[in-house]
């Protein structure tokens, strides 16, 4: 029996690791326990800064032997902050961030600590990309395991749709390879079922030709015009080719050069997106977006894809206090638009945002049971996220988000994107996994019957046993 299998104390685990084990008294502990959402302030007993799959194996075996709770931190960008647990062991994958792109096979091997920004920079060296979020600081791991919506999703499907294989450390402390042909049940669950089934130490993605420049559009409208703009946007997207990913965003006008000074700090509606095909082919498509209404500021320009991916990073900085809610919509109806604008007349925090994600396209063409992500027929994702800095404002900000969310509920499908669940959304986990929840529970029962991997939006392994 190896040293890693025998470790039942933190001292033993420390000896078994190649990476560092941080405890509360150690330098760097506070930085390592921090996540993107400043509302999260948890204090683990130890943080293992893993450098290899062997380190991850040692952590899982230690957690099983000792009974200590375990959580997994990759990018740490999840709103609920479940990457960090109190009084347990955090398996920190941030040092495992290698990206290797094979331009001949158009595939990429990505370690779980890589961010979207790191992934995109490597892939764009070869003019390749795979669908991946809208914020360069998001971790590849959490995004992919939860589904993975982004600018390219209408063109190529979700991030998880483009996952072709994964190396996984399982709850029994083994390393397995999961794909369509090896452990297909586990592979199916990894694509949309979250971090419930193991710790992925390497992702293999299918890549696609994108860029190096994409045609981007940002059209900012006066908030008073939002109703007409959203209705026109709906019609444009109904006819748009898959290559267009375009999101309406309600945000406060930033106090930066280029925006009219009299509008600084006031709400506006922006239509933001990109055309992922050849720039010249995208010009008439993007023109239809710009022709909507009378924007007070419009920018249409080719831009490196990796740069566009980081365009809105400044609007959601690390460490700010965030709270959010989300829905999925089958349509952007007049009733939904009226409900939204009837409850929103201001955005209370400097980093507060409401946005709609255009779905459909390649997402909807996948069979409903192809992966664990169950929401193929939703046409829009809706999210409201408050961002503020002062703890004294918590109650006001949270109440505002809940009001907006409740106003949209009658117009929603009842489903929700699991990556947008917040810390108090435990009652919506079944809605996030939808019709696939029972099958996920059965797979959970096979691969993690004791629910070692429970510091997440958790699939209960006992659901299948009880029914």
- Three-state secondary structure string covering 36-69: CCCCCCCCCCEEEECCCHHHHHHHHHHHHHHCCC
Q: 46 and 70: one domain?
A: yes
Q: 278 and 384: one domain?
A: yes
Q: 237 and 308: one domain?
A: yes
Q: 140 and 275: one domain?
A: no
Q: What is the CATH number of the domain that holds 236?
A: 3.40.462.20
Query: Of 31, 61, 92, which residue constitutes the final position of a domain?
Result: 92
Contacts of 239 (CB under 8 A, 6+ apart): none
pLDDT band at 211 (very low <50, low <70, confident <90, very high): confident
Q: Give the whole-number percent of the chain exceeding pLDDT 90.
A: 91
Nearest to 147 by CA among 374, 330, 368: 374
Q: 21 and 106: one domain?
A: no
Q: 241 and 175: one domain?
A: no
pLDDT of residue 224 exceeding 90, the answer is yes
Domain count, the chain: 4
pLDDT of residue 462 exceeding 90, the answer is no
Matching residue, tokens 């992934």: 119
Query: Of 155, 175, 209, which residue constitutes the final position of a domain?
Result: 209
Q: 172 and 25: one domain?
A: no
With the C-alpha atoms ordered 132, 28, 51, 92, is the resulting torsion angle positive or negative?
negative
pLDDT for 169:
98
pLDDT for 1:
37
Query: Of 181, 209, 237, which residue constitutes the final position of a domain?
Result: 209
pLDDT digits (tens, 9 = 90+) for 77-87: 998 999 999 99
Q: Give the whole-number percent of the chain exceeding pLDDT 70.
A: 98
Range of the structural domain that residue 53 is part of = 3-92
Coil/strand/helix, residue 140: helix
Q: 304 and 334: one domain?
A: yes
Q: 174 and 233: one domain?
A: no
pLDDT digits (tens, 9 = 90+) for 305-341: 999 998 888 788 999 999 999 999 999 999 999 999 9
* For the chain, the helix, strand and coil percentages under 3-state DSSP, each to the nearest 5: 35, 25, 40
Compute the distance between CA of residue 132 and CA of residue 155 in angstroms, rounded to an integer: 12
pLDDT for 257:
87
Matching residue, tokens 């239809």: 288
pLDDT band at 465 (very low <50, low <70, confident <90, very high): low
pLDDT digits (tens, 9 = 90+) for 55-107: 999 999 999 999 999 999 999 999 899 999 999 999 999 999 999 999 999 99
- Range 400-408 average pLDDT: 97
pLDDT for 4:
41
Q: Of 116-130, 266-280, 308-322, 360-374, give the lowest mean pLDDT range.
A: 308-322
Q: 66 and 108: one domain?
A: no
Q: 322 and 294: one domain?
A: yes
Q: 349 and 416: one domain?
A: yes
């Amino acid at each position: 029996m190896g040293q890693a299998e025998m470790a039942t104390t933190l001292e033993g685990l420390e000896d078994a690791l190649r990476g560092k084990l941080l405890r509360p008294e150690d330098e760097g502990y506070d930085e390592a326990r921090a996540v993107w959402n400043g509302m999260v302030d948890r204090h683990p007993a130890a943080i293992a800064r893993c450098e290899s799959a062997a380190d991850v194996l040692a952590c899982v075996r230690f957690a099983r032997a000792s009974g200590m709770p375990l959580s997994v931190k990759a990018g740490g960008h999840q709103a609920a902050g479940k990457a960090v647990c109190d009084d347990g062991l955090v398996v920190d994958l941030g040092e495992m961030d290698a990206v290797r792109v094979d331009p001949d096979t158009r595939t990429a091997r990505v370690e779980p600590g890589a961010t979207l920004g790191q992934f995109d920079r490597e892939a764009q060296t070869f003019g390749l990309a795979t669908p991946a979020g809208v914020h360069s600081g998001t971790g590849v791991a959490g995004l992919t395991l939860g589904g993975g919506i982004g600018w390219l999703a209408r063109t190529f499907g979700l991030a998880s749709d483009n996952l072709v294989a994964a190396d996984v450390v399982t709850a029994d402390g083994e390393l397995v390879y999961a794909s369509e042909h090896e452990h297909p049940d586990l592979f199916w669950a990894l694509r949309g079922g979250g971090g419930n089934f193991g710790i992925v130490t390497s992702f293999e993605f299918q890549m696609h030709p994108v860029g190096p420049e994409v045609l981007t559009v940002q059209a900012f409208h006066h908030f008073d015009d939002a109703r007409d703009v959203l209705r026109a946007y709906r019609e444009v997207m109904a006819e748009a080719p898959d290559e267009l990913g375009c999101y309406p965003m309600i945000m406060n006008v930033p106090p930066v050069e280029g925006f009219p000074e009299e509008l600084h700090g006031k709400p506006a509606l922006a239509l933001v997106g990109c055309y992922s095909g050849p720039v010249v082919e995208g010009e008439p498509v993007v023109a239809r977006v710009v022709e909507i209404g009378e924007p007070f500021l419009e920018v249409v320009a080719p831009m490196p894809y990796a740069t566009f991916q980081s365009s809105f990073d400044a609007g959601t900085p690390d460490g700010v206090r965030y709270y959010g809610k989300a829905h999925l919509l089958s349509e952007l109806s007049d009733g939904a638009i009226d409900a939204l604008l009837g409850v929103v007349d201001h955005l209370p925090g400097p980093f507060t945002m409401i946005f709609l994600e255009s779905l459909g396209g390649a997402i909807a063409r996948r069979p409903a049971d192809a992966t664990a992500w169950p929401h193929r027929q939703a046409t829009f994702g809706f999210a409201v996220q408050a961002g503020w800095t002062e703890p004294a404002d918590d109650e006001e900000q949270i109440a505002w988000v809940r009001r907006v969310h409740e106003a949209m509920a009658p117009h929603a499908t009842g489903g929700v994107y699991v990556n947008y669940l917040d810390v108090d959304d435990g009652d919506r986990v079944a809605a996030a996994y939808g019709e696939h929840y029972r099958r996920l529970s059965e797979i959970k029962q096979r691969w993690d019957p004791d629910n070692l991997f429970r510091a997440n939006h958790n699939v209960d392994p006992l659901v299948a046993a009880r029914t």
